[in-house]
Amino acid sequence: MGTSGQTTRAVVAETRMAKEAGADYVLVLVPSYFHFAMTGDAIVAFFEELADSSPLPVLIYNFPGVVAGLDVNSDMLDRLGRHRNIVGVKLTCGGIAKVCRVRAAFEPEEFCALAGQSDWLVPGMAVGATGVITGVANLYPKVCMRIFDLYTAGKVKEAEQAQIELAKMEWGFAQGGINGTKWIVAKIRGYPAESWHCRRPYPKYGDETKKAWISSVVEPLAAVEKSIGDRGAF
């Protein structure tokens, strides 16, 4: 469960609520309101203090694009991965080289690296990622799991081909931003027309030309998703 916030105290409180709600892990961004003060040492100290107090294992959520460019680099990950209650990192920075360095330093059972987008699931697993946390799984979960299962079963060429098709789709999935993402999921899944708007002041998504283009890129994979049977059936 995501429990990000702008102060250590607030995030610790959120993690305790997550525990009460039945979560198994917490996924936490770098606090960024006072981003100019968040040095490497400050970022490491934040996660260590959180992990010391958290009743749940902590996954670092590295997403510089939403935290004023703050990046948890490989040196920080090497330090943080040694904490008994910090178990991994979601790399929405796209840093596949970080996956390599995490795998070189840790066994996955100690500290794992997860892709932050499904369009590099296979490349990530090839160098040590243990999987992916991806928004695309809200729309095409079977396609994502098929790629994972094919790769782990040693059917690498088939996994690569499925990955290529998914990557083409994910480009369209991502181009509308969070509102476009919610819109296409609602459209394909049949959710109510007004259910996909983000909270204000985020602007409503109304670019009809872009909607048509996103639909043309994303919707064709729906047939593949529908055709996939139970997990493990290749």
Residues with active-site annotation: 90
Distance of alpha carbon 123 from alpha carbon 49, whole angstroms: 33
Distance of alpha carbon 36 from alpha carbon 200, whole angstroms: 27
* Paired strand residues for 60: 28, 89
What the block records as the tokens of 47 is 């996660």
> Contact, 165 vs 224, CB < 8 A?
yes
Q: CA-based angle 180:196:173, to the nearest 5?
A: 25
DSSP 219: T
